[in-house]
Amino acid sequence: MIDMTTTTPANCPSPRIIYGTAWKRERTPELVALAIQHGFRAIDTACQPKHYDEPGVGRGLAECLGADLTRADLYIQSKFTAVASQDPERIPYDSRTPLREQVAQSFAASLENLQTTYLDCLLLHSPMRSAEASIEVWTAMERICDAGGTRRLGISNCYRPPYLEVLYRLARIKPVVVQNRFCKETGYDTALRAFCTAHDIVYQSYATRTANRDLLARREITDLASRYGRTPAQILLRYLTQLGIVPLTGTTSGVHMDENLDIFSFELGEEECRSLDGLLHGAAQTAAITAAISP
């Protein structure tokens, strides 16, 4: 089996590809188990009933654990989601309590839901509405890390490099993961990814396929797909992993799961990667121009 983990310069073991569980609803346990059976060893979820069935993730994980697969073989990450992004009828913590208590209660719910004693990574689902609130939440997450509840911390949906730079500077326990939607509208996070690279932060991409359907149809990618006997999605995903990006995939197809894991069985050449660099840069520039001239 292909090794699904790598080690960052900061000696932080990280998965090379992650199965995402958003919007799976009642199929969550079945699909999590299917992903693990096909070879995925990293699972992403969130304590946010509005979009994730975290208890269902836990049931899918439990179904697969046994003598041949233990909790130590898996990478599991979840998120603290602020009240503003929760379903008001299904908030998984007491929203009347201070933020530090909300974080603690959310984390405890995640452990119970996922049937585990620790997380491999705990993410702040998105920046809070004020810098003070963000720091309060991050400090609460640091306490969880100090107690051994999670092995690392990160942030999702963080698209402003200055915010990440301030968080990194003020945090006692530095973020080692940034998880963002990977799309041309944000310029593919070029500046933010440069900061991540310089500070040993793993950049995880979500919506990598669904947000880039036009990119997958470009001749630069389809020609490479023909040359390598792969799908356009495999070419894009392999290119990103060679950049050091960790893609999330939420496919419900066993065939696509196999295709996604098979990307590590080939490698693109340097000239081919440079061609795709230019493709991403051009797509981002076009999106920026379109946004600037739109009414």
Residue 255, sorted as left (phi over 0), alpha (psi -120 to 50) or beta, turns out to be alpha
Res 284: pLDDT: 83
Query: Hey, what are 214's tokens?
Result: 């036009």
The answer to which of 3-12, 25-34, 155-164, 229-238 has the lowest mean pLDDT is 3-12
- Domain count within the chain: 1
β-partners of residue 75 are 42
The whole domain housing 62 covers 5-293
Beta-strand runs (E) in 171-294:
177-181, 202-206, 246-249
Note the pTM of the prediction, 2 decimals.
Answer: 0.94
11 pLDDT tier (thresholds 50, 70, 90) = low
CATH of the domain at 244: 3.20.20.100
The answer to which of 11-20, 111-120, 157-166, 189-198 has the lowest mean pLDDT is 11-20
SS3 state of residue 108? helix
Strand 5-7 with 13-15, pairing: antiparallel
Average pLDDT, the chain: 94
CA pair distance 128, 117, nearest whole angstrom: 27
